[in-house]
Amino acid sequence: MGTALLTDRYELTMLQGALADGTADRRCVFEVFTRRLPSWRRYAVLAGTGRVLEAIERFRFDEDELAWLEQESVVDARTLDYLASYRFTGDVRGYAEGEVFFPSSPVMVVEGTFAEAVLLETVILSILNYDSAVASAASRMTSAAVGRPCLEMGSRRAHEEAAVAAARAAVVAGFAGTSNLEAGRRYGLRTIGTAAHAFTLLHDDEEQAFRAQIASSGPGTTLLVDTYDVTRGVELAIEVAGTGLGGVRLDSGDLGVQAVEVRKQLDALGATGTTITVTSDLDEYAIASLAAVPVDSYGVGTKLVVGSGAPTCGMVYKLVAREDSSGKLSPVAKASTSKTSVGGRKSAARRLDEDGRAVAEVVVTGRDEAVAAWSPADADLRPLLVDLVTGGEVDHRWTGAAGVAAAAARHEASRDELPRGARRLSTGDLAVPTTSLVLD
């Protein structure tokens, strides 16, 4: 599916106005950043970059779309002619997907003509805002799990395409798998899942249901043991599958108390290797509360796909520099109350201490030529921006299954750089402060 109409009308009407007055071809720099994070988040996680690159490649106006724009009188004939041959030929740089970020971090920088770059605003923001919100929540959950696997199970709580995006973003932030098959197919993710309560209720009794599942999936499967009585369910599960049963799942009640009791029961029955997975409206706080309980993995659904209280990252796409009438790239900025922006091209780095821990986010500003050519001379600065699109050509290292794997690895390394207090779930200061470096 093309992505050209996943946008707002005013992107096209701005293009029409710029074509009419001759400013459409002015070289411009747009920047994606957020002004603030939720008070309970000490850092955020960038996700969706690979999907943005895929969307840019598919940003084409086909005949049906152009016909509809003409029929609805959205833009004039000259603009339709421009859209018919639209291709993004500019450059995109940004933080590598999976990187943590903070307010004012220039997580993506888009450079091209005004006409090319302005059309991408909405699709870029819709992807990055949602995916980063999910990944930011997922990172807190995987951190709270302290090495125990988290499994994404939220498809039925989201729009069908958002479900795929959420599964991908969750894996970027450390989740071990997803129940969503399309996400598995599209991005090479591990898929998980066995049976729901409906399968047990389908049969005349719980034993028949367990025998049917074992016959179909083998003794390594996970049996859902809380449809009726949990204690009896565990007994039947081991009777049917033997002590080599792969796992049991708990989906209701006091999960902490039940997990302790079920672990004792399994061990007494000789099923010491049978794992316990818990589900049922988990979030990072619920996961943290189970840290001392014998739980082996967590299945997370609703709270994950809605960003666990923050369904968007509040990212904006702002013009920060444009070619003036003399041909020079000059900074521009908004001065609106509470919505100010800082003009000019940016770069960024993370300052690390002698132990490799982050102590500051460094945003680089100054003369355009100096910022464009900047690379840190100090050994304690790790540069954050990487090339994503060059001359309209997407770097496919960041897309598809390979892109997700690279993003997951980047997130693990980036989060490990943060000060230890960054993982606290309580409201508090950002993990590191943001400072500025101004180049002459």
DSSP labels, 370-428: HHHH----STTEEE-EEEEEETTEE-GGGSHHHHHHHHHHHHHHHHHHS-GGGG--SS-
pLDDT digits (tens, 9 = 90+) for 365-407: 999 999 999 999 888 999 999 999 999 999 999 999 999 999 9
Q: In the predicted model, what is the mean pLDDT of the chain?
A: 96
Residue with tokens 């014998």: 294
DSSP 261-328: HHHHHHHHTT-TT-EEEE-SS--HHHHHHTTTS---EEEE-HHHHTGGG-S---EEEEEEEEE-TTS-
**Does residue 93 contact residue 374 with C-beta atoms inside 8 Å?**
no
Mean pLDDT of 110-116: 98
415, with CB counted inside 10 A (0-12, 13-18, 19+), is: buried
Looking at domain 9-135+310-439, its CATH architecture is Alpha-Beta Barrel (3.20)
The pLDDT of residue 327 is above 90: no
Q: Which residues of 34-68 are buried (b: 16+ CB within 10 A; e: fewer)?
A: beebbebbbbbbbbbbbbbbbbbbebebeeeebee
Count of beta carbons in the 10 Å neighbourhood of residue 329: 19
Query: What is the pLDDT at residue 94?
Result: 98
pLDDT tens-place string over residues 199-254: 999 999 999 999 999 999 999 999 999 999 999 999 999 999 999 999 999 999 99
For 194-295, CATH gives 3.20.20.70
Tell me the CA end-to-end span of the chain in Å, nearest whole number.
46
Closest CA to 86 of 184, 11, 170, 156: 11
What is the pTM (predicted TM-score) of this model? 0.96
Among positive and negative, which fits the CA dihedral 347, 397, 308, 318?
Answer: positive
Q: Does residue 277 register a pLDDT over 80? A: yes
Domain boundaries in the chain? 9-135+310-439, 194-295
Q: Could you give the CA distance from residue 94 to residue 104 in angstroms, rounded to a whole number? A: 13
